Amino acid sequence: MGRLFGTDGVRGVANGDLTAELALGLSVAAAHVLAEAGTFEGHRPTAVVGRDPRASGEFLEAAVVAGLASAGVDVRRVGVLPTPAVAYLTGALGADLGVMLSASHNAMPDNGVKFFARGGHKLADELEHRIEAVYEQHRTGEPWARPTGAGVGRVTAYDEGFDQYIAHLIGVLPNRLDGIKVVLDEAHGAASRVSPEAFARAGAEIVTIGADPDGLNINDGCGSTHLEMLQAAVVEHGADLGIAHDGDADRCLAVDAEGREVDGDQILAVLALAMREAGQLRKNTVVGTVMSNLGFKLAMEREGIELVQTAVGDRYVLESMKAEGYALGGEQSGHVIVLDHATTGDGTLTGLMLAARVAATGRTLADLAGVMSRLPQILVNVPDVDKSRVTTSAELAAAVADAERELGATGRVLLRSSGTEPLVRVMVEAADIEQAKAVAGRLADVVKSALG
């Protein structure tokens, strides 16, 4: 059996790769593994289960709930809520396990199952591996030990989660949003009710788009992967800024009053300065990834803030933050983690904090984001090459060294092997986009000849 768990739970085409049987089996396996690990010791276990609005989430939620209850776990169904809300409620309610059904920014036919441990934290890798092994062991014939009578889990709706999560968001804001006009694009996703309510309660004047989920339209031409509608709406309504989420609202991108994109690096830069000013930027450090724009790194150097860079993926950002006690980290894609207030990327919280900074300073978002200049970044995918030799080819190493000398301090080269495909990604940043294109093209040619 191949790995079921990826970097963010188990994903696939709903009712294709990700069936009701798989969702049920994984849930039972998770209950057994956590019981073996002592998580349930001394008390009756409970789980929080939520989902995004995808049509397939309805049957997958039923399967997960059935699996958990059949394994003796009491389930609180919180309904359609963002991934970070499910993580928060798992911790706030003292649950032993959280489960979110979502495929985040993926297209509607996909779905996913993501587990949270007690406290709302991502399951450790070894527990995920154990769940896979136990699932496979029982899938191939060994029967489950099943409770009967009063031992079966009970299932209840927990409708209070909506207000509880919003109260948490508003409670951690440094200031209110009175006088700020914000356009919110909810991607017809999990934050379609939560985000507008939170911004309104915080005092913002809001205009909402992409907030009419019908189970089929999630991420369809809207949200953080399609900013065009938001950019037009911000200009049309004369708003101070726009906020875009993805389907499960664990990420946030923004748009300034002129309709220009403000990406995750720029948001991190704005929040880093705000948190330092408030004495909340522990160790004077922010965590990014190797794909963070060079302009972000140069801005942090200029501002006297340390930047730690990890491998690509918010899980690696989070691992670094937890290991070293850092307070802020994130990715260019808009996954921003404020560890004092969330255990995972929280797009609604990020948007609120960004708007709060605009309100507190009286400055425009464009002015605040201007702390960094986003350098042109060219990415070229070179397919059908031996990616295993990307770090050992002398010819390629020489070409990279030549490119780095040409670019100097205001440019950067990064070669990465794809984790899932036989290709190498060539990324070049430079102050001049034509230079970046030229260098990337030359390096792509060398990758083809050296690794083809």
Known binding-site positions: 104, 246, 248, 250
Q: How far apart are CA 329 and CA 406, in angstroms?
A: 31
449 is catalytic: no
Tokens describing residue 319 = 């691992």
Which helix or strand (DSSP H or E) is residue 340 part of? Answer: none
CB 20 within 8 A of CB 59: yes
Task: Give dist(CA 240, CA 235) in Å, integer.
Answer: 9
Question: Could you tell me whether strands 377-383 and 412-417 are parallel, antiparallel, or unpaired per DSSP bridges?
Answer: unpaired
**Exposed / middle / buried, residue 362 (Cβ in 10 Å: 0-12, 13-18, 19+):** exposed
What residue numbers does the annotated binding site for Mg(2+) cover? 104, 246, 248, 250
Outline where 330-393 has alpha helix (H): 347-361, 365-369
In order, the DSSP letters of 150-204 are GGS--EEE-TTHHHHHHHHHHHT-SS--TT-EEEEE-TTSTTTTHHHHHHHHTT-
Q: Which of 56, 102, 104, 192 is catalytic?
A: 104
Quote the CA–CA distance of 122 and 316 in Å, as a whole number: 12
- DSSP string covering 233-277, please? HHHHHT-SEEEEE-TTS--EEEEETTS-EE-HHHHHHHHHHHHHH
C-beta neighbour count of 150 within 10 angstroms: 8
Amino acid letter for position 345: G
Per residue in 122-141, is it b (16+ CB within 10 Å) or e — as a string? Answer: bbeeebbebbbebbeebeee
> Which of the residues are catalytic?
104
